[in-house]
Chains A and B, each alone.
Chain A
Amino acid sequence: MQRLWLSGRILAAGARLVVQHVFRCDEEQPLEVIYSFPLPRDAALRGFRITGEGFEAHSELRPTEEAVKAYEKGVADGSLAAVLRHYGDGVVNLTVGNIRPHETVTLYLELLAGVELRDNGFRFRYPFTLAPAYHSRMRAAVTAGEGELELPADEFGDMILPRFRKDAAGLHEVGFQLDVLHQLPVDEVASPSHSIRVKQNGGSPVQVALSTEKDVPNRDLVLDVNFRESAAQVLAGSTGDGRRNFAAVAPSTLFGAQTTAPRRTVVVLDRSGSMGGVPIEQAKKAIEACLATLSPDDAFGIVAFDDKVEMFDSSLQPGSREQRARARAFLDQVTARGGTELAPAVAAAAKVLNGGGDLFILTDGQVAGTERILEQARATGVRLFSLGIGSASQDRFLSLLARETGGVSRFVTPRERVDLAAVDLFASMGRPVASQLKAGPHIQPELPRQVFAGTPVLVFGEIEDSSGESIELSWDGGRLALPIPEGDAATGETVRLLQGSRLITDWEVRYPAEEALAPLEKRKQSRVAIRLQELSQKYGLSSREMSLVAVVKRAGDRPGELPETRVVPVGMAQDTKFGAYFGSPGNLTACAMPAPPAQAVTMVFGSSSPRVPESAAPPSSLAQRARELLRGTKFAKPPATFQGEGRSAARRSEEDDLLDLAAQLEPDGGMPGETASVRVGRTIAALLAFVAAGHTASSGAFRSHVARLVEFLRRASGVPAGEQRVIDRALAAADAGKAPGGGWQALAAAPSANWKEIEKALG
């Protein structure tokens, strides 16, 4: 493949995209090219156009079995043929057969994709590569310097994964040029993944493009669109036959206030090898800060998992000082290692929860066979909140994991602050702003039953064009009506397709396990397969049951000629270690470990005395040795030279200091101290440190901490009049969201309260 270029329009409810794929055959024989890519969240394929010298053809949507047969017949006839087929885990194989020697073929693929919604904007992700994922039966190999993964055919069929190159330079070029359509004024469009050029012109679409000529396929495109305000948006338009389709984004601020009921939460921490380096350290720190928002009435648990599950405790524990100290000690010994067996961890965590409550999963989600995990997670009946760290390949899975269980998901790149995202998401858990959410008729898919702070509700539906109806939402203690504008036909068609894409995504993960693995011909009678066929036909979108195919007859086609199959390589996803999946392929001479013997056996028992690094020094007893091996401590990550290879090293920042402060909160919401006066003084300083950094009791990642600090100060009794005046001034500043200047962090961190400084800074 020569080029992959993304264009299209992104709206608040999702994106309608066109991806240009350019294939050129530089060989002296016809080629069959297989390009494998993951679907973004809530995505489906609408169709493709294939062009070349003297031809242009459009795809047809056909039942998958028929599409494959048509493709094979086309290849056997010597024609140019192309087929796009969905597999499990949202992986798509694009296969183009019979590209002639020195021929260039361009395929334009149209697809729909969802976005990750936030109250004041959204995050759009598009995968330019496919991150490898763990499966207990996966086989890995390195051939000619490229990593290959093979998944068991009884579970994944004939899906072919790309080859992975450690260095993506020299692979096909990638790039993008996108328009962001917006109803609300745009504050900022930013990308943590690529260098972008943004052209904003009042109310017109914001144009976003790669600022360089081209890039390499080793990471996903991530775009953040932030609006200046948080308000409802309704997109609509007539779609013919007297119907009007709509999509509404209703921010959580339109619902109620967060409840204050005690929280029951189990944190599930992925400690697999792929989390090694900065992500796991940030995740551990974040968990400590999250637990600091708990009161003794709240209850928590922690489960750490790789291919084994390790539990902090077999039952929920109160958020007391003692239990938090125990939790800290538990987290201290958690290091990254092993594979990602998520399903047993979810089952174990659900058992700890033993009733209502939430699971909070921190994972890179780099796992294959996700439909089974989803099925098992649904069966536990608990609500899952997921914080994904890593590649867009897993964004689809983790968003489904949360949605299918009634929770919320967030996804960050490994180069972003995992800890702040975790604290932010944790703040909205367990205490919905609306429960028993219901909508009027014409709404599909069903709405979540609860709404959580920070995450809007996305509503898709269809009404009669002339009805003048509104979108009616009601919940315990409230209701809301959003008028549906007339809109325009183009917007109406886009939201109709986004609705279809979302419905197909939801149904694709509902195959019972035995049906998902069944051959196509045996799956025909499946309830899920029938529903997917209906949806595909209604919306004109592909699914596991309906695929896109085109066959182009050209002059001079030579029937029976066997094309040579080539699998398009992609770059190893940035921040994912090649060695974590494929072993160490090259020389690692910079490693601080001793070199191995040339002949391992003879050297081990030979005359030379190998240098043993301190980190690998033999333990003092055999029992200890066995324990260490069991814990995998000997398999700890390689030396610092290799840790976090490609990941940005965390530099000490204001956020780091705030996290340290956050983790110090006592169960009563105040800062620690030897006397009541010291505690109050430090609590004032901590509160103003958060407020000065832009966090209030209702906004910012540390909103829960701010709320608890405020609560502590409001409850403070028996305080001398002078100190009470300072408390009142600090609370007023917090209410106003404006803290006067002062070295608040230093004052809060000091072991004693410097009342004179605090008073002086408050003015």
Chain B
Amino acid sequence: MTLAELAEASGLPARTIRFYIARRVLNGPVKAGRGAVYGREHLARLEQIQRLQAEGRTIAEIGRMDGHREKAVPAARGTAWWQHAIAEDVMVWVRDGLSPWRTRQVRAAIEEMAGRLRMSHDEE
């Protein structure tokens, strides 16, 4: 199928498909140049990308997940971390500078953990 037909079939704009190809999360057409052709595997991959995005994955993550060519960010060395002593015997480390939404997720997880530990402590 042509790019226009692939766009129609996947419900994604052609520009988005080209963007995915440039980001190496989708392979280029089977045949390049005049009469470029895309196959069923392209459609299946686009459906998979949409599914993964709905699950909260970024394009960069999707590219990394299956060994595509995105460069992974090396783990920062010497980065600042915050310590959270949430029980006498439990310490949680959280990297400084998380995005606000990630901070919210982490905070909720720590709250839950602290709550559970407190309940166990009270039961004892």
Assuming the contacts A560-B35, A594-B81, asked whether A158 and B12 have C-beta atoms less than 8 A apart, the reply is: yes
- Per a CB cutoff under 8 Å, which of A272, A337, A579, A629 touches B97? A579
What is the CB-to-nearest-CB distance from A319 to chain B, in angstroms, rounded to a whole number?
33
The docked-state distance in angstroms from the alpha carbon of A247 to that of B53 is 48
* Majority secondary structure of chain B interface residues (helix, strand, loop or mixed): mixed
Say how far A489's CB is from chain B's closest CB, in angstroms. 40
Cβ–Cβ < 8 Å partners of B28 in chain A: 562
Q: How far is the CA of A635 from the CA of B92 in the complex (A)?
A: 12
Q: A558-B34, A587-B77, A587-B78 are in contact. Are A596 and B95 (CB under 8 A)?
A: yes
Q: A32-B15, A143-B73 are in contact. Are A588 and B83 (CB under 8 A)?
A: no
A185 in the interface (beta carbon within 8 A):
no
* Cβ contact within 8 Å between B80 and A629: no
Give Cα A634–Cα B35 distance, bound, in whole angstroms: 59
Inter-chain contact A148/B59, CB cutoff 8 Å:
yes
Query: In the bound complex, what is the Cα–Cα distance between A337 and B93 (angstroms)?
Result: 18
A141 to B29, CA, bound (A): 27
**Bound Cα distance from A630 to B86, whole angstroms:** 12
Central interface residue in B4, B13, B81, B121, by most chain A CB within 10 Å: B81
Which residues of chain A in 276-312 are interfacial with respect to chain B, using CB atoms and an 8 Å cutoff?
306-307
Given A565-B21, A593-B96, A616-B84, the answer on whether A583 and B32 have CB atoms closer than 8 Å is no
Indicate if B56 sits at the interface (CB-CB under 8 A).
yes
Check B100–A338 contact: CB distance below 8 A. yes
Per the 8 Å Cβ criterion, residues 54-82 of B in contact with A are 56-61, 70-71, 73, 76-82
User: How many residues of chain B are within 8 Å of chain A by beta carbon?
Assistant: 63
Contact (Cβ within 8 A) A68 B96: no
User: B34 near A560 (CB under 8 angstroms)?
Assistant: yes
The residue in chain A whose Cβ has the minimal distance to the Cβ of B50 is: A153
A502-530 interface bits toward B, Cβ cutoff 8 Å, 1 = contact, 0 = none: 00000000000000000000000000000
- Name the A residues within 8 Å of B79 (CB-CB): 584, 587-588, 591, 595-596
- Chain B nearest CB, measured from A307 CB (Å): 5
Q: Is A103 an interface residue (CB 8 A)?
A: no
Q: Whole-angstrom distance between the alpha carbons of A632 and B29 in the complex?
A: 50
State whether B70 touches A143 (Cβ < 8 A).
yes
**A76/B96 in contact, CB under 8 A:** no
Residue numbers in A under 8 Å from B51 (CB-CB) = none
Q: Are A616 and B83 in contact (CB under 8 A)?
A: yes
Residues of B within 8 A of A638 (CB): 80, 96-97
B48 located at the interface, meaning its Cβ lies under 8 Å from any Cβ of chain A in the complex = no
Verify if B40 is at the interface (C-beta below 8 Å from A). Answer: no
The answer to whether B15 touches A565 (Cβ under 8 A) is yes
- B111 adjacent to chain A (CB < 8 Å): yes
CB interface residues, B 13-57, toward A, < 8 Å: 13-16, 18-19, 21-23, 28-29, 32-36, 53, 56-57
Contact A588 B104 (CB under 8 A): no
Q: Give the residue of B13, B34, B76, B114 whose beta carbon is less than 8 angstroms from that of A625.
A: B114
One of A307, A565, A604 near B19 (C-beta < 8 A): A565
Cα A72 to Cα B59 in complex, Å, equals: 23
A583 touches B83 (CB 8 A): no
Decide yes or no: A585 and B76 within 8 Å by CB, A141-B58, A273-B100, A562-B29 being known contacts.
yes
B104 touches A593 (CB 8 A): no
Considering the complex, give the chain B residue whose CB is closest to the CB of A595.
B78
Instruction: Tell me whether A76 and B100 are in contact in the complex, defined as CB-CB below 8 angstroms, given that A562-B21, A562-B29 are known contacts.
Output: no
**In the complex, A595→B111 CA distance in Å?**
24
B110 within 8 A of A: yes
Contact B104 A339 (CB under 8 A): yes
Inter-chain contacts of B94 with A (CB < 8 A): 635
Q: What CA separation (Å) do A552 and B71 show in the bound complex?
A: 36
Question: What would 25 A/B residue contacts be, using CB atoms closer than 8 Å?
Answer: A134-B100, A138-B101, A141-B61, A145-B73, A158-B15, A565-B18, A565-B22, A567-B19, A584-B97, A586-B76, A587-B77, A588-B79, A591-B80, A591-B96, A593-B96, A596-B93, A616-B82, A616-B83, A618-B85, A625-B85, A626-B118, A629-B86, A635-B103, A635-B107, A638-B96
Interface of B with A (CB < 8 Å)? Answer: 2-4, 12-16, 18-19, 21-23, 28-29, 32-36, 53, 56-61, 70-71, 73, 76-87, 91, 93-104, 107, 110-111, 114-115, 117-118, 121
Kindly list the 5 A-B residue pairs having the minimum CB-CB distance in the complex, ordered from nearest: A579-B97, A618-B85, A584-B97, A339-B100, A591-B80
**Inter-chain pairs besides A76-B3, A588-B97, A591-B79, 9 sampled, C-beta below 8 Å:** A32-B18, A139-B58, A562-B3, A583-B99, A584-B79, A587-B78, A591-B80, A604-B91, A629-B114
